Each structure stands twice: as structure tokens, then as C-alpha cells.
Amino acid sequence: MPAARVLPPMTAPAPDTGGAAAAAPGDPRSDDELVAAANRGDVGAFEALYLRYRDWVVRLAFRFTGNHEDALDVLQETFSYLLRKFPGFRLTARFTTFLYPAVKNLSLTQRRKRGLLVSDETLPAEPAAPADADGPGGRRSDLAEALASLPPGQREVLLLRFVDELSLEEIAVAVGIPVGTVKSRIHHALAALRRDGRARRYFDA
């Protein structure tokens, strides 16, 4: 597969798919089957992977950059990076687990280009919902603020677990920390949210 292959046009992410990547429209093949086909030079298989994961990549990139245009740039760079691995690419983990470090690093590079700090403390959490979301009091906005108040390491693994739906083992691989550390961070994050008045209602419901 030629490295100069032009990727499909960048499009905005779907409004919300609940965190997990949706199947590529019209292509029932598994990720492993698509990777094998792409290794054989099937450009359509690569494009199916792009369609399957583009929304997830954009949402994740926006989580780090806080800027939609930057997130679309990261989308382009992420799949250009992936394209260069074919032929010969071996998928040894869940696709999102493989993509996560690349999206994160490319997002931090994009922040540097804009002259923004890239320490963990400056990274945004999930985008806040409008103030009136979920009725009076802005419940989703309150939750976003509570998440943003967590230590960045705890917030990162919590979002990967409950927004991106990665397993504990997959989070450990994606972030590069032991499974025990993942468990500890999630435990402390949930405990902090239970004590936070902005998030407590989600645990009392």
C-alpha cells in the first residue's frame, strides 16, 4: 500500500456513540480481518478502519487539545501514522488501545504548536455540557467540573474506563502503567467524586 495514499476527507465526529467505536458502515469484518486485508494492499480495508475509529479519535483528541480544528488535524496525523505501518502491521491489542498513545502524543504536539503548556495539569477533561444540560442546575456541567478537579492521572484512567470502555488491562497498556496502578487511580477517583457535591448525585441515584 503506497504511503502517499490520500486519506478520506476529514469529517466532524458523530454527536455521541457512548464512547465505544461503532462498526464501519457496510463492512462487517472485524478489526483483525481489516488489518489482514490492509496488509494485503486492500485500500478499502484501511478506509473501513478509518470510518470505524475516526469519531473516537476526534473525541479523544479534543479531550486533550480543547480545539476542534486541532482535533481534526490530529485525526489526519493519526491515520497517516497508521498508514505508514502497512504492510506488516500486527494488531496485538484492541485497536483503541493501540491508537491511544499516538492520539495523546500527537495532541500534545499540537498544543505545543499553539504555544500552550502540555503539563498534565493543563489538559482539559471531557468537554463541559451547556449550563442547562439535564435540566435546572446543569447536572452534566457539574459532573464535567468535578471530573476536571481530579488529579490528571486519575481523570485519564477514569475516562478511559467509563467513557472509552477500555478494560483495566487495556488501560494499563495504553497508558503504560501497571494494572494495580490503574485500579488504585480509579478507586481514588471514584472516592473523590462521591465526596464532591457536584458529582455525588450520580452515586446516590
Q: Cα(24)–Cα(49) distance, rounded to whole angstroms?
A: 7
CA pair distance 189, 123, nearest whole angstrom: 17
Is 9 part of any domain? no
Q: Indicate whether 84 belongs to any domain.
A: yes
CATH of the domain at 204: 1.10.10.10
Q: Return the pLDDT at 32.
A: 97
Query: Looking at residues 21-29, what average pLDDT do you find?
Result: 66
Query: Is 16 domain-assigned?
Result: no
Length of the chain equals: 205
pLDDT at 21: 55
Does residue 9 contact residue 47 with C-beta atoms inside 8 Å? no
- pLDDT at residue 139 above 70? no
**149 and 102 within one domain:** no
Please enumerate in sequence order all residues whose Cβ is within 8 A of that of 11, keeping only pairs 6 or more positions apart, or say none.
54
Q: Which residues contact 204 (CB under 8 A, 6 or more apart)?
A: none
Query: Which position has the grid cell 441515584?
Result: 205
Residue 157 lies in a domain: yes
Would you say residue 201 lies in a domain? yes
Tell me if 15 is assigned to some domain: no
**24 Cα distance to chain centroid:** 17
- CATH number, domain of 57, equals 1.10.1740.10
Number of domains in the chain: 2
Q: Which domain holds residue 194?
A: 134-205
Q: What cell does 3 get?
A: 504511503
Percent of the chain with pLDDT over 90: 63
CA distance 47 to 7: 8
Domain for residue 58, yes or no? yes
153 and 118 together in one domain:
no
38 and 86 Cβ atoms separated by less than 8 Å:
yes
Among 92, 123, 154, the domain-final residue is 123
Is the CB of residue 52 less than 8 Å from the CB of residue 23?
yes
Who contacts 123 (Cβ-Cβ below 8 Å, separation ≥6)? 63, 64, 152
Q: In terms of pTM, does the model score above 0.95? A: no
- Give pLDDT tens digits for 42-88: 999 999 999 999 999 999 999 999 899 999 999 999 999 999 999 99
Rounded distance, CA 109 to CA 170, Å? 24
